[in-house]
């Protein structure tokens, strides 16, 4: 007699929720994704997909889709905010791919989202379903939605983002922390600033603000993010708009390339940079968390999407395979399902906490040009080299290896 398939409700169809649905369906679970939005719209701007996240998507056979919409970074360049000179450069491309075993992509969030949505296979997607509550019953969980509907599942995965409703059922810990900065972000057409090197991640660290530019949409657009000190007056929302004048004021008097970027901006989103303290737990009975719901992080390591994708792989593995490296640390009276969730959490919580805390002062936040322009060139190299070394353990991480899973089990490990 065949065993009944595990019914899994994933709350949220962001990149984390969709990746979870793909991974769980591939592991033969019966998956339904509940998303509050009425449609899967084109939302967001540039997103970094590190080698650690990209290697999973390559194993899922999505390398050619990624190559068509994303850009494989060839170099990372730091430029002087005032005179525009290249201060220091880090080669990426083949060197990076050889070192970390997979490409580093910059991609429009909507493109990555679409690629994952195309892979849902047998998983169902219920749009316009805003979760408002859940109750664990004897051998299942009952979900309640704002439209009066309800549903039942064996396991619930809260992939409902930074303001997760599911998280309240798991823990009250994880106070919100404002970083003192807001990020103004958006897109400019590549042909509006033709003098900049293509396939290059560009950073201008200014005395206070920092500007980052990365190519997206197959190189036809640049995504910009200006990280600007702020009192936190903007609402915390991915869809909040900012004013072009606010960005222009923060970058006034910078160099001619930055002027070109400012001149091409027509719309800008404003994203106050909050994160949370690492949570003390992710799971409660049959309910667990994934992605930003579990570990909202500042963007300075560019790891929000990649960590969510790693979570998805770990969750599917721990729920569907009985053995695992963390098993011996578990309480003796757990059921196989809750044991699986605890194994997932035991692998992912310490790892993501390290990424989360490292993101606070890591990445571009390490680069500073507070010193006079002429002394900056000499100072640029060490912080950039250090910045790359800071993230090398994250980029090199292979979640399937950590799970003890044969890394070629699901298809070609690379194919890039
Ligand atoms: P999210 O991407 O936040 O997805 C959570 C999903 O859950 C959303 O679709 C939300 O509508 C849904 N949801 C929330 N509450 C409920 C509920 N009660 N019931 C049902 N569904 C619910 N990162 C970047 O680096 N650059 C960007 O430009 C960028 N833009 C973004 C735009 C949007 C609109 C969002 C939501 C996120 C954006 N991010 C961006 C963040 C990035 O996508 C995430 O950090 C990363 O992908 C991990 O995502 P996640 O799936 O865990 O959470």
- Whether residue 409 lies inside any domain: the answer is no
Tell me how far the alpha carbon of residue 227 lies from the centroid of ligand 1, in angstroms.
20
What is the three-class DSSP state of 86?
A: strand
- Whether residue 229 lies inside any domain: the answer is no
Contact 233, 178 (CB under 8 A): no
Q: Is the pLDDT of residue 71 over 60?
A: yes
Q: Give the pLDDT confidence score for residue 373 in this predicted structure.
A: 41
Q: Give the pLDDT confidence score for residue 328 in this predicted structure.
A: 37
pLDDT tens digit string along 276-289? 899 999 999 999 99
Q: Is the dihedral of CA 407, 385, 298, 302 positive or negative?
A: negative
Q: Is the pLDDT of residue 361 over 70?
A: yes
Domain limits at 52? 3-176+276-403
pLDDT tens digit string along 29-46? 999 999 999 988 777 789
Q: Is the pLDDT of residue 129 over 70?
A: yes
Tell me how far the alpha carbon of residue 304 lies from the centroid of ligand 1, in angstroms.
10
Q: Is the pLDDT of residue 59 over 60?
A: yes
Q: Give the pLDDT confidence score for residue 414 in this predicted structure.
A: 42
Structural domain count of the chain? 1
Q: Return the closest-CA partner of residue 358 out of 310, 402, 305, 298.
A: 298
Contact 390, 358 (CB under 8 A): yes
Rounded CA-CA distance 367/271 in Å is: 21
Q: Which of ligand 1's atoms lies nearest the C-alpha of 299?
A: 25
Of 143-152, 168-177, 326-335, 364-373, highest mean pLDDT: 143-152
pTM: 0.92
- Whether residue 84 lies inside any domain: the answer is yes
What is the three-class DSSP state of 198?
A: coil
Ligand 1: does its nearest atom lie under 6 Å from the Cβ of 78?
A: no
- Whether residue 271 lies inside any domain: the answer is no
Instruction: Identify the weakest region by mean pLDDT among 29-43, 189-203, 298-312, 359-373.
Output: 359-373
pLDDT tens digit string along 376-412? 444 444 566 777 777 899 999 999 999 987 665 444 4
Look-up: residue for tokens 């899994």?
8
pLDDT more than 70, % of the chain: 88
Ligand 1: does its nearest atom lie under 6 Å from the Cβ of 307?
A: no
Q: Give the pLDDT confidence score for residue 21 in this predicted structure.
A: 98
Q: Give the pLDDT confidence score for residue 122 in this predicted structure.
A: 86
- Whether residue 186 lies inside any domain: the answer is no
- Whether residue 252 lies inside any domain: the answer is no
Question: Pairing mode, if any, of strands 210-216 and 221-229?
Answer: antiparallel
Mean predicted confidence (pLDDT) in 321-346: 69
Question: Pairing mode, if any, of strands 124-126 and 30-34?
Answer: parallel
Ligand 1: does its nearest atom lie under 6 Å from the Cβ of 107?
A: no
- Whether residue 142 lies inside any domain: the answer is yes
Look-up: residue for tokens 């979760």?
131
More confident residue, 242 or 96: 96
Ligand 1: does its nearest atom lie under 6 Å from the Cβ of 289?
A: no
Maximum Cα–Cα distance across the chain: 75
Tell me the two tokens of residue 185: 């972000």
Ligand 1 atom 40: residue of nearest CA: 44
Mutate to test the pocket of ligand 1, among 9, 10, 12 (most ligand atoms within 8 A of CB): 12
Tell me how far the alpha carbon of residue 293 lies from the centroid of ligand 1, in angstroms.
9
Ligand 1: does its nearest atom lie under 6 Å from the Cβ of 291?
A: yes
Q: Is the pLDDT of residue 318 over 80?
A: yes
CATH number at residue 123: 3.50.50.60
Is residue 120 very low, low, confident or very high in pLDDT (cuts 50, 70, 90)? very high
- Whether residue 283 lies inside any domain: the answer is yes
């Amino acid at each position: 007699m065949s065993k009944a398939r595990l019914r899994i409700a994933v709350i949220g169809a962001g990149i984390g929720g969709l990746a979870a649905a793909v991974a769980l369906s591939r592991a033969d679970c019966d998956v339904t994704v509940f998303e509050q939005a009425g449609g899967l719209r084109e939302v967001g701007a540039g997103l970094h997909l590190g080698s650690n996240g990209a290697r999973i998507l390559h194993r899922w056979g999505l390398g050619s889709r990624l190559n068509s919409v994303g850009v494989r970074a060839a170099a990372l360049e730091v430029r002087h905010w005032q005179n525009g000179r290249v201060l220091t450069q880090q080669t990426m491309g083949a060197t990076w791919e050889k070192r970390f075993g997979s490409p580093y992509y910059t991609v429009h969030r909507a493109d990555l989202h679409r690629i994952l949505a195309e892979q849902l296979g047998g998983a169902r997607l219920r749009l316009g379903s805003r979760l408002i509550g859940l109750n664990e019953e004897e051998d299942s969980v009952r979900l309640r939605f704002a439209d009066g509907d309800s549903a039942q599942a064996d396991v619930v995965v809260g992939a409902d983002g930074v303001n997760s409703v599911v998280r309240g059922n798991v823990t009250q810990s994880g106070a919100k922390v404002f970083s003192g900065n807001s990020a103004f972000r958006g897109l400019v057409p590549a042909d509006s600033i033709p003098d900049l090197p293509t396939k290059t991640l560009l950073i201008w660290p200014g005395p206070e603000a920092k500007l980052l530019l990365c190519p997206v949409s197959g190189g036809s657009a640049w995504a910009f993010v200006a990280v600007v000190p702020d009192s936190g007056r903007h609402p915390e929302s991915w869809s909040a708009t900012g004013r072009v004048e606010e960005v222009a004021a923060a970058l006034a008097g910078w160099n001619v390339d930055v002027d070109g970027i400012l001149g091409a901006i027509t719309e800008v989103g404003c994203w106050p940079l909050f994160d949370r303290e690492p949570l003390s737990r992710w799971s409660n009975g049959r309910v667990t968390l994934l992605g930003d719901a579990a570990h909202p992080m500042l963007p300075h390591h560019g790891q929000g999407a990649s960590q969510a994708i790693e979570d998805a792989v770990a969750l599917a593995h721990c729920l569907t395979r009985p053995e695992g490296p963390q098993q011996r640390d578990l309480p003796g009276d757990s059921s196989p399902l809750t044991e699986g969730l605890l194994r997932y959490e035991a692998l992912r919580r310490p790892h993501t906490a390290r990424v989360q805390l490292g993101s606070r002062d890591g990445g571009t936040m390490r680069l500073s040009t507070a010193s006079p322009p002429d002394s900056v060139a000499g100072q640029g190299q060490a912080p950039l080299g250090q910045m790359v070394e800071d993230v090398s353990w994250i980029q090199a991480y292979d979640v399937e290896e950590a799970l003890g899973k044969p890394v070629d089990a699901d298809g070609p490990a690379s194919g890039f």
